[in-house]
Structure 1
Amino acid sequence: MPSGRCLEILPKYVHDTANVKEPRKLLCRIIQAAMDLPFRDVGVANLALFDAPVSEWVIRQFLLAVDRLVKRGLRFDYAQMEEEQRFLRGQLDIARQLRQPVGRQHLFRIRHDVFLPDGAENRLIKSALVIAGTSTQDARNWRLAHELRGLIAEIPSSQQIREDFKSWRRDRLMAHYEPVRPWCELILRQQLPLAGSGAWRGISLLFPMEKLFERYVETNLREALPGDVRFVSQSTSKYLCAHEEQGFFQLRPDILLSRQGQRWVLDTKWKLLHTLDRANHYGLSQSDFYQLFAYGQKHLGGKGDVILIYPKTSEFFAPLPPFHFSDSLRLWVLPFDLHEKQLIEPILKLLPCSPCDKTRIPTLLYQ
């Protein structure tokens, strides 16, 4: 802040602000699990860094920045060359020419300038492109990385990364290179930015926590569910109503599960619940219930279970009793433990158990 104070905003599930190390680590894990999100660039700030593998999201942002740079044009500069040729070009180096041996007097020692893109900035970009192309597992990133490497094939990779970063120019002619530099640093140093005061000066980003929580739950549920469970995220197959034979108001539940002919709808909400405050409906939103009711009618045909998932806190640490829309449609409100990466009441308990599951999955909720 202008006064010199540092303002740090942590996930709102934290109540004890004395110990902020764990919330910081947790936030890093959540961001790493969902790094393909849209973000807002809020300018340059002093940040801290933490060691982490280069993610597909970082690679994608770097490649898009380089693509814009290449379309605008790479910076070329004159470099002085001293060589020996059979022809005259540029300036003759008279002192060296006079010292030529007798058998080489037919060769000219010349000095001339060559217009090349071989600058420190372009060498660093080439090195980062090589790492991005070999590290990515995403087909789009791999394709774009190899296209860009082909466009700058004549530029060598950087052999002295630290020195080239020191030589990176910041004058007005190199202003269009500035958006690329932070991504180059993150890729070449194998680090990611952390919101907090630090020595690294680079891009400051804002992520929507509701989307981070949604992706975090989705990633961990995919790993926990059996292989025969069909997992669909952001399903777009249903509409709220039809008008002139066209769907109106598309329904997009966060997660849609199906197994053995049955289906379940899951939706995540980044909100705080208070299980002791029943007078205010525990902090639940009526609009969220309307939303889940519509999901249940369209995706489940008005029969089955829909589930709302909220972050676990000290005031919401156990599932609430089920809510009944009707005799055949129920809504469950479950907490998700951000540290343990699992639902307090595992979602598997809602699924019909096969013989191989009964030895390890208790069936409490679906009865």
Structure 2
Amino acid sequence: MSQSGPFCLTAYEYETLPLSRYPELLPSHLDALDRLQLQQNANWFTRLHSSLRFNQFVGVIQVTGLLLEILPKTDDVRRTSSPEADDHWRQVLLQMLAYVHDLSVAVPDAAHLAHSPHAMLDLFVAALVEEADSLLRQGLVKQYHTTDGNRSALKGRLLFQQHITHNLTHGERFFTRHQTYDHAHPLNSLIRMALQLATGQVRSPALAARTRALLLHWPELPPVAVPADSPQLNRKTERYHKALELALLLLRGHSPTLRSGRTEAVALLFDMNTLFERYVARHLQRAAAKRRGHVRLQNSRVFWPGISIRPDLVLTLTTGAKPAEVSHTFILDTKWKLPKNHRPSSDDMQQIFAYCHLWKAGHGVLLYPRAGKAPAEIRRRYSDSHWAPDIAIEGHAYFAPVLGNGAVLNDSLGNDIIDYLEKSLVQKSVTPTSPA
């Protein structure tokens, strides 16, 4: 183990890591990981007798003496860590996170990412510092709150019982309850708490110094409880949205009491399936806004009494000119995986078929990331449905070009997807043979 810092270990989602391969990975590290996962009520990994098996989460976990980085994997299910692969997928993940969370800082290039498993945590801290610094320059929000205490002048309401208790021999003082207008606002407290956490977690000395300098100018505020849901913002506090999102990401993954002595730990982990869904959604929303289209997220409908189903995305495209405009509905389900032999599973195709019935959509698309020798598309028409006789439903397996050249993400992903869908409207798919 390095004497200058924690042992840094890189793994991949769904990888099973033999513990015998890493003598630097101590039982104390594994115990700390177990406790952190238990405290967060999470399912990031499974600890086995002689191995550690990871699930679909990617990101970083930092406990005393260990920095564990988990990267995404799609192109080769047997791939394990290597310097070249690590740098490639670290860059991909950081770009995807920056795009989804609209981070205001640049993703480090490949040269600066070499052997840098801490880059992800530093990236989010740098974005938080940028947003917090902007809020400070604009002026932090203030609010009125009630304060009880001794004062040298009578202000507010005199609290007789406390006044007698505290000032029996101090006639020059008054124990009062009065209104104070200052920066003691929960939003300011949450951001300060996140900045304080960040100073002890980032690996970049320059970023740590900048964070400490920002804290010197941030008002001293008492800590508050970290909310389970994001606080409601109003017209005056809407500008806090991005800084608050970043602060809560850090605070919710933080555990200050893993063991006695305030050993701190932080987990910045993301469900890769959800991240890919949000990444595709943002690209489609931006592209659809310029293409007479509309994207709906979290759109659920009742499937059976007490049971609702929700496709990842519902995309509506309008073609033709008025008054002969036609609206077309597409159901998209994103899958951060490669199906076996590049063929979608029967369960996934059946689920898409059910979605199309409820939404009266003519096209259901399973959207995978393209990797290796994956085909561009597989497209077939479902058998005619007795329950939707007027809708010819087509099922698609579309392998989206998520990556551009090298580890650079494809900026035109949304347009590429819509181009494919528009093309499918004018091309007939193969009709399956009806059963006898």
TM value normalised by structure 2: 0.44
What letter corresponds to residue 295 of structure 1 in structure 2? Y
Contact map agreement 2:272 2:336 (CA 8 A) in 1: no
Matched, 1:10 2:74: no
In structure 1, distance between residues paired with 2:242 and 2:101: 16
State which of 273, 284, 287 in structure 2 corresponds to 1:224: 287
The separation in 1 between residues aligned to 2:177 and 2:71, in whole angstroms, is 50
Structure 1 counterpart of 2:126: 50
Aligned to 1:62: none
Letter aligned with residue 283 of structure 2:
N
From 139, 151, 172, the equivalent of 1:110 is: 172
- How many correspondences in the alignment? 253
Q: Distance in 2 between matches of 1:10 and 1:188?
A: 28
User: What is the CA–CA distance in structure 2 between the aligned matches of 1:20 and 1:350, rounded to whole Å?
Assistant: 28
Aligned counterpart, 1:350: 421
Tell me the amino acid that sits aligned with residue 5 of structure 1: L
Q: Write the distance in 1 (CA, Å) between the matches of 2:365 and 2:317.
A: 14
Distance in 1, matches of 2:241 and 2:352, equals 45
Post-superposition CA distance 1:332-356 (Å, at most 9, x none): 22233162241584323432xxxxx
Q: Which residue of 1 aligns with 2:107?
A: none
- Whether the 8 Å CA contact 1:265–1:295 is kept in 2: the answer is no
| Conserved 8 A contact 2:154-2:174 | no
> Are 1:82 and 2:191 an aligned pair?
no
Distance (Å, rounded) in 2 between the aligned partners of 1:189 and 1:215: 16
Partner of 2:185: 125
Confirm or deny that 1:286 pairs with 2:343. no
Query: Per-residue deviation at 1:229?
Result: 2.6
Describe the shift of the 1:227–1:204 C-alpha distance in structure 2 as closer, same or farther (beyond 3 A): same
Provide Cα deviations, 1:291-323, integer angstroms capped at 9, x if missing partner: 11222344347xx3321112333454x522323
Residue 333 in structure 1 maps to residue 397 in structure 2: yes
TM-score, reference length from structure 1 = 0.51
User: Which residue does 2:328 correspond to in 1?
Assistant: 263
Matching of residue 162 in structure 1 with residue 215 in structure 2:
yes
Q: SS of the counterpart of 1:17?
A: helix
**CA distance in structure 2 between the aligned counterparts of 1:235 and 1:179, rounded to whole angstroms:** 29
Q: Which has the bigger relative contact order, CA under 8 A and spacing at least 6?
A: 1
Corresponding residue of 1:215: 278
Give the conservation status (yes or no) of the 8 Å contact 1:266–1:306. yes
Match of 1:32 in 2: 101
The C-alpha deviation readout for 1:144-172, integer Å capped at 9, x for no partner, is xxxxxxxxxxxxxxxx9835868556xxx
**Cα-to-partner distance string for 1:59-104 (whole Å, 9 max, x where unaligned):** xxxxxxxxxxx9xxx89563x533599xxx95898xxxxxxxxxxx
Instruction: Give the secondary-structure state (helix, strand or coil) at the position aligned to 1:267.
Output: strand
- In the alignment, the residues of structure 1 paired with residue 330 and residue 98 of structure 2 have an alpha-carbon distance, to the nearest angstrom, of 26
Structure 1 counterpart of 2:398, one-letter code: L
Q: Secondary structure at the match of 1:51?
A: helix
User: For the Cα contact (< 8 Å) 2:121–2:268, is it kept in 1?
Assistant: no
Structure 2 distance, partners of 1:296, 1:20, is 34
Cα distance, 1:27–1:262 mapped onto 2, change above 3 Å: closer
1:118-139 residue CA offsets vs partner (Å, 9 max, x unmatched): 69xx83426739x9xxxxxxxx
SS in 1 for 2:395: strand
Q: Is the contact made by 1:334 and 1:343 (CA closer than 8 Å) also made in structure 2? A: no
The residue type equivalent to 2:183 in the other structure is R
Name 2:199's counterpart in structure 1: none
Segments of 5+ residues of structure 1 without an aligned counterpart are 35-45, 56-69, 94-108, 132-159, 242-246, 275-279, 352-362
Check 1:31–1:343 CA distance in 2 against 1; reply closer, same or farther (3 A cut): closer
Q: Does 1:311 align with 2:369?
A: yes
- How far does the alpha carbon of each residue in 1:37-56 deviate from its partner, in whole angstroms, 9 at most, with x for none? xxxxxxxxx9531216769x
Deviation at 1:288, TM superposition (A): 0.7
Structure with greater Cα Rg: 1
Distance in 1 (alpha carbons) for counterparts of 2:275 and 2:241: 26
1:224 to partner: Cα distance = 0.6
Identity of aligned residues (%): 19
Change in Cα spacing, 1:299 to 1:21, as seen in structure 2 (3 Å) is closer
Question: What amino acid sits opposite 1:219 in the alignment?
Answer: R
Q: Distance in 2 between matches of 1:28 and 1:118?
A: 40
- Cα deviation for residue 21 of structure 1 reads 4.4
2:32: which partner in 1? none
Instruction: Evaluate the alpha carbon distance shift between residue 92 and residue 162 of structure 1 in structure 2; reply closer, same or farther with a 3 A threshold.
Output: farther
Alignment check: 8 A CA contact 2:298 2:311 kept: yes
Does residue 323 of structure 1 match 2:376?
A: no
Contact kept, 8 Å, 2:148 with 2:175, in 1: the verdict is: no
Alpha-carbon contact 1:335-1:343 (below 8 Å) kept:
no
- SS state of the match for residue 185, structure 2? helix
* 8 Å Cα contact 2:100-2:282 kept in structure 1: no
> What's the C-alpha RMSD, in Å, of the aligned pairs?
5.0
